[in-house]
């Protein structure tokens, strides 16, 4: 469906406002115009999601959210293996035919992995879920392959949209994903399908825009389809080998570090407390998705256009974006830190006050994460430093593992466990922000040395 006239008008005013404020002739202005386009869709999607959550929390219990948290964690852990992270390279090739071969490679890999997951869980679901302390998912294991396939395809098409700078179709899909997901969760919950309604709704939320995005790019894919060949695909396997070699384990470690609180809480404190933490993390993800993710995609598209041969311009853009993200992040950080428990109790119901306490504790690291995530996802790809991403994520998962190990050994409560986790993560994010700028400056120095040698 097409956006309504009011939506387009709001988007235009938002874009023009940003352009006039941030110098429309600069790369920074271009990034923020693209961000505005994505933010228009994400804002609508997040608004729909936020408005639906108070209804959903009054239909489902915290233990149902605990099952959802474990399901999304397991899905997130397996999705990166679907495309082996080759989909992240889609914005990089100059020729559309090359990008089409890369897309075929990703789809083939995703199909194989989805079938393997189906086979493994069909044979050994009880054993695997018990081993992972995820027995509550046993009746719903069949949703995992569907979630993996759908999420992987949407990720692939999203990166193609970034390549084409097709931000309007991408924005529309996010709105419709939120609408379909919210209606599914509420409708199936009212019918008594708990927690199945949450799980099916989550699948739609993650993958509901696949068909819409595919229709947007099907014309170009048809024109380049004849260029697909086994020889070209084999070449791309080698050409972008750094993505599965470094980006895949790096992404896996990143997801493990992100989902570690939910998995640890499920094992240590049970489904109900895990559900409280799941809601807190879900609400904290709103600003990250609205501004962090959209900025990151627009930033990646812009620095990929600039290219690794112009690191001075990349440094200028990155510095500008970092400053603005810092200013944007301060108000929600202070509000959440101060009023978290009260806000959660008022908005979601008395039973969810604990989630507000968790959100206040987690706000400690939110500010640093908000700044790093948009720039960190693209800069190392463009500069060809996949190994750096891997090292960063190895250090993060190591620090988080130490934090939870200490919490377990000392029998910390859920509150002290989260405080330890938040402090460790804040320190790590601050360090990697400095690594980003050090890497750019090192690239500048390398080009200068070559120029004058």
* pLDDT tens by residue, 294-325: 677 778 877 887 877 787 888 888 888 888 88
Q: Is the pLDDT score of 23 beyond 60? A: no
The mean pLDDT of the chain is 82
Instruction: State both tokens at 95.
Output: 């020729």
Q: Which two tokens stand for residue 377?
A: 């996802």
For the entire predicted model, the pTM comes to 0.74
Q: What is the pLDDT of residue 142?
A: 93
C-alpha–C-alpha distance, residues 174 and 45, integer Å: 6
According to the model, what pLDDT value does residue 377 have? 64
Give dist(CA 258, CA 264) in Å, integer: 11
The CA distance from 405 to 331, in Å, is 33
What is the rounded CA–CA span in Å between residue 336 and residue 51? 18
Mention every residue, 6+ apart, whose C-beta is less than 8 A from residue 183.
Answer: 201
Give which of 265, 213, 296 is closest to 38, Cα–Cα. Answer: 296
Q: What is the pLDDT of residue 186?
A: 95
The token duo for 153 is 């395809």
**pLDDT per position as a tens digit, 39-58:** 677 777 777 888 899 999 99
Helix-helix angle 386-409:353-382, to 10 degrees: 150
Contact 85, 244 (CB under 8 A): yes
218: which residues sit within 8 A by CB, 6+ positions away?
Answer: none
How many CB atoms are located within 10 Å of the residue 86 CB?
24
């Amino acid at each position: 469906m097409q956006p309504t006239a009011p939506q387009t008008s709001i988007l235009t005013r938002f874009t023009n406002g940003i352009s006039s404020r941030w110098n429309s002739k600069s790369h920074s202005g271009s990034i923020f115009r693209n961000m505005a386009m994505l933010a228009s869709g994400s804002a609508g999607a997040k608004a729909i999601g936020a408005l639906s959550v108070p209804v959903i929390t009054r239909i489902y219990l915290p233990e149902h959210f605990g099952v959802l948290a474990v399901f999304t964690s397991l899905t997130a852990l397996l999705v990166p293996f679907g495309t082996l992270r080759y989909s992240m390279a889609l914005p990089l090739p100059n020729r559309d035919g090359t990008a089409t071969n890369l897309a075929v490679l990703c789809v083939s890999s995703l199909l194989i992995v989805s079938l393997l997951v189906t086979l493994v869980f069909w044979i050994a679901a009880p054993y695997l879920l018990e081993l992972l302390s995820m027995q509550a998912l046993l009746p719903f294991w069949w949703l995992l392959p569907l979630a993996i396939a759908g999420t992987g395809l949407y990720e692939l098409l999203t990166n193609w949209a970034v390549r084409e700078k097709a931000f309007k179709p991408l924005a529309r899909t996010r709105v419709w994903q939120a609408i379909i997901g919210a209606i599914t969760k509420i409708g199936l919950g009212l019918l008594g399908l708990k927690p199945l309604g949450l799980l099916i709704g989550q699948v739609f939320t993650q993958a509901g825009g696949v068909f819409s995005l595919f229709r947007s790019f099907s014309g170009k894919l048809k024109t380049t389809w004849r260029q697909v060949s086994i020889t070209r695909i084999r070449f791309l396997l080698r050409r972008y080998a750094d993505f599965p070699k470094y980006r895949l384990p790096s992404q896996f470690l990143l997801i493990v570090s992100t989902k570690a609180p939910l998995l640890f809480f499920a094992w240590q404190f049970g489904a109900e407390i895990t559900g409280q933490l799941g809601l807190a993390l879900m609400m904290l993800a709103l600003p990250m998705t609205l501004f962090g993710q959209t900025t990151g995609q627009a930033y990646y598209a812009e620095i990929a256009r600039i290219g690794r041969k112009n690191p001075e311009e990349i440094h200028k853009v990155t510095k500008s974006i970092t400053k603005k993200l810092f200013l944007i992040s301060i108000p929600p950080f202070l509000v959440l830190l101060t009023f978290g428990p009260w806000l959660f109790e008022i908005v979601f119901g008395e039973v969810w006050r604990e989630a507000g306490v968790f959100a206040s504790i987690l706000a400690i690291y939110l500010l640093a994460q908000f700044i790093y995530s948009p720039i960190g996802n693209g800069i190392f790809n463009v500069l060809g430093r996949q190994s750096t991403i891997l090292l960063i994520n190895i250090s993060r998962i190591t620090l988080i593992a130490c934090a939870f190990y200490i919490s377990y050994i000392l029998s910390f409560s859920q509150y002290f466990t989260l405080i330890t986790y938040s402090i460790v993560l804040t320190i790590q994010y601050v360090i990697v922000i400095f690594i980003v700028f050090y890497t750019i400056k090192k690239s500048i120095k390398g080009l200068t040395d070559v120029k004058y040698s």
